[in-house]
Amino acid sequence: MSEIFYDNGTVFFTLETGGLPESPYWTNFIRIGRDAERVETDGDGNWVFADVDDKIMALQMHDPLTDDGTPKESVLNWLRTTLPESGIVFFLDTLKEAKTHMADSEA
């Protein structure tokens, strides 16, 4: 199951792990730290974590959406170097929906 974590303008997106989210939630962070064979940054706050088979395990980035929900071009360009377009659309749609839900619940 993919998960999205949001903290103070930074998004951490774990890609499909094949199971239910582990509990406690930080277990995924520990697993990624343990199993990441390749960790790369673009020098602009965007990170890729990949396993020994070069399968992407997680991405960390600045919030890829503006306040009105429009994708930021700088993050979008970086995402295009790491994920297929269908994965980007799914990720951004899911993030937008989650942010809308959070805003509604805070209102």
Give pLDDT tens digits for 38-64.
Answer: 999 999 889 999 999 999 999 999 999
Instruction: Provide the percentage of residues in the chain whose pLDDT is more than 70.
Output: 92
Cα separations (Å) of 17 from 44, 59, 101? 27, 13, 24
Pairing of strands 38-41, 10-14: unpaired
In DSSP terms, 48 is beta-bridged to: 40, 59
Tell me the whole-structure pTM to 2 decimals: 0.83
